[in-house]
A and B are shown apart, each in its own frame.
Chain A
Amino acid sequence: MTNAERLATLATTRKQREFDHDFLASWEGCITWEDAPMRQPAVLPGEFVVEEEDVLAYNRALGETDPLFIDPEYARNFAPGGTVLVHPVFVTAIAFWMTRPGNALSWIKTPGARNPFQHVRVRERIAVGDRLTVIHENSDRFIRRGKPYITAHITLRDQRGVEKVEFWGTLILPPTRDDVRRFATA
């Protein structure tokens, strides 16, 4: 069984089942540090529909204990909005779902990348049922201690046009395409 086949057996939600389980298959579609377009805000194609099962999977993975996070029936009776509550770092799932090979955010799937720091700002809590539009730009790239860093600024707007979350995601990327290839083909 390949690792992708192993991961496929772990899928419990529609998005997890539909997601490409072979992370390395599309490595050539990852835009590099050098080639990433900077400060060109754009709406990513499509939208992220927040399903209850997505939120439950995230909250349960973290071992959350509050029934407002993990018990849909309890949340129907007691949660504001009547649905299980969303964790602020759930934005990770949104970013990975919306990334496609070749788009300006595709570098988040670079093999060999490292995660130095992240920043999430919540204006209004994301909720089950939200249909989120993702506005993305590569807001900065810089060299620190000889390493190439790149930052995405992601804004999430709901179906009413309300800005709910801003997310600044930074990674240290392998310096060259050859370095990426070395990790991708390891």
Chain B
Amino acid sequence: MPAAAPAVPFLDDLQTGNMLPGLTYEVNQDLIDAYGMASLDLNPVHMDPAWCERARVFGMPVPVAHGMMSMSFMASAVYRAWGALAEITRVESKFTKPCPIGSIVTVRAMVRDLHPLGDGEDYATLTVEATDQSDSVIGVSEIDVRLRRRPGAKP
């Protein structure tokens, strides 16, 4: 039996400023290959080390991680903390720095806003930041997660 997954919190259990547990991963060619095949994004800037050495798209001779992979990991930080049933309704990401092979990326997510709208439309907005081993920001996201209210909760 697989280990129990984390539970999705109620909106009422959150406070602005709450941090979710961080997520760390190492960018290597195996990870890039797996993501590239799964996303069908086979751009050689990610998938072809020899081409990268010649083309130097970002001025560097090695493959860089897909921006969509960074975006995915930023959403995954929410899933690791709250489980796969967390209902993400928006992911908006900006990529600020190329992320070459050898990077160690840490993703940190924080509850920024709570939106107690009622009628099942309640949600939280998280800001998520991905940084490399030199603490440079490689990507930032805003993520909305629809959340239930505790029974009887008031706005």
Contacts and interface: CB of A to CB of B under 8 A. Distances in A.
Contacts, number: 146
Given A15-B40, A186-B51, 19 more contacts: A3-B51, A61-B39, A62-B76, A65-B5, A65-B80, A66-B6, A69-B84, A71-B2, A87-B75, A88-B91, A89-B71, A93-B38, A111-B45, A112-B55, A116-B94, A116-B95, A117-B95, A119-B93, A120-B90
A58 interface: yes
A42 interface: no
B37 A120 contact: no
A85 B72 contact: no
Given A61-B37, A118-B92, A67 B5 contact: yes
A64 B90 contact: no
Interface residues of A, number: 54
A66 B5 contact: yes
Interface stretch (A6-14, A130-138, A142-150): A6-14
A63 interface: yes
A57 interface: yes
B43 interface: yes
B128 interface: no
A57 B25 contact: no
A114 interface: yes
Interface of A: 3, 7, 10-12, 15-16, 19, 21, 23-24, 54, 57-58, 60-69, 71, 74, 79-80, 85, 87-90, 92-93, 96-97, 109, 111-123, 125, 183, 186
Contacts of B3: 67
Contacts of B25: 63
A10 B41 CA distance: 13
B2 to A, nearest CB: 4
Contact of B40 (A62, A66, A93): A93
